[in-house]
Amino acid sequence: MHLRRLAVADFRSWEKAELDLEPGVTVLVGPNGVGKTNLVEAAGYIATLGSHRVATDAPLIRRGAEHAVVRGLVVHHGRELGVELEITAGRANRARLNRAPAKPRDLLGVLRTVLFAPEDLALVRGDPGERRRFMDDLLVSRYPRYATVRADYDRVLKQRSALLKSARGGGDLRTLDVWDGHLAAHGSALLVGRLELVTAIAPLAVEAFAEIAPTSDPMDVGYKCGLGPQDELPRDAASLQTLLLDAMGRVRRQEVERGVCLVGPHRDDLELSLGEGPAKGYASHGESWALALALRLASYRLLRDDDVEPVLVLDDVFAELDARRRRALADVARRAEQVLITAAVAEDVPEGLDGVRFAVGGGTVERLTQDATSEGRT
């Protein structure tokens, strides 16, 4: 799988930009703030229907524009697929697949990406929401049907939360049992996917961490669930649904008093350990980077094991890593079918990842000649 063409209009800082891409390594070089990350963010949006930098779509639309457009031409198992997304704040996005109207979710799975970015430190040092998002994004990348499960759960959670809040002001709770059932049904389906995902990714992350931080204490990965220890949880939706309903019944009074949903996947976490203690608060800066890098490497290897080669996106990440971690990531990148790299200066990119280079700046993106690329390295 690779991205053959990427085009944007009124996306972030770009009024218009278009890149013809190839398999192998592509490097976008330019000073900070000129729009390099915006371009790879657009590629990620095609893959995930979301941004790794913001939670809503409104910031993706160039100031003064009504909407943004992202287009891509994806080569998947020898077949070319054209995708287009029109992003409008406050309204449903429009999508096209091979020029025919489609639902945005129909585009999920056409392109798969694994992103490494400075924001990845939040996977270790951030709040549980960052890790839940990591799990769910990866789950949808593997199995696009979980996008519907995730959206349905979020919708029901919002409705049930609103009902609980209204109860604090004397609202009617007669429909709460109905919403309990909906939350348990969609929550159990999401839990089945998350538990399977964590079981699959944990050994890959542990292995990757041992490779890039051999002198550190071993890493461990688990799923922290309000229903009980991961190893004791059933793996079928029906049993998990029963457990969720029972748990909601036990905390019903507290939920009504506080006006919040206290049970469900929205309260769970991806548990990261380093040696005998939790990684958050105990891992050093370097170890935190190694843990985050291990999770991303594990994601990449997991998607490859599913017989789909994801596009590797390395957004200004080499400048953040020490020599050992740079080598580990560069080794993976050299074997990838397609890699998109952003860097402030050419020297930030390790040897052997020269590839095709584009100079980004002044609202333009220009492919460099081989001579200019060689000069940039010297």
Q: So what's the pLDDT on residue 76?
A: 84
Residue with tokens 């999920």: 108
Contact 332, 303 (CB under 8 A): no
Q: So what's the pLDDT on residue 358?
A: 96
pLDDT digits (tens, 9 = 90+) for 329-370: 898 899 899 999 999 999 999 988 878 999 999 999 999 876
Topology at the third CATH level for domain 1-112+309-378:
Rossmann fold (3.40.50)
Q: Which residues contact 87 (CB under 8 A, 6 or more apart)?
A: 11, 45, 57, 60, 61, 67, 68, 69, 70, 93
Q: So what's the pLDDT on residue 328?
A: 86
Contact 285, 108 (CB under 8 A): no
Predicted TM-score (pTM) of the model is 0.90
Residues in the chain where the model's pLDDT stays below 50: 378
The whole-angstrom separation of Cα 81 and Cα 2 is 11
Q: So what's the pLDDT on residue 376?
A: 52
The whole-angstrom separation of Cα 118 and Cα 176 is 42
Pairing type for strands 14-20 and 94-97 reads unpaired
Q: What are phi and psi of 251, to 5 degrees?
A: -110, 15
Q: What are phi and psi of 145, to 5 degrees?
A: -60, -25
Selection from 26, 109, 72, 94 nearest residue 365 by Cα: 26
Report the alpha-carbon angle 143-148-152, nearest 5. 140
Tokens representing residue 214 in the block: 């051999």
Q: So what's the pLDDT on residue 378?
A: 44
Instruction: Give Dmax (Cα) for the chain.
Output: 74
Half-sphere exposure of 12 (CA within 13 A, CB side): 21
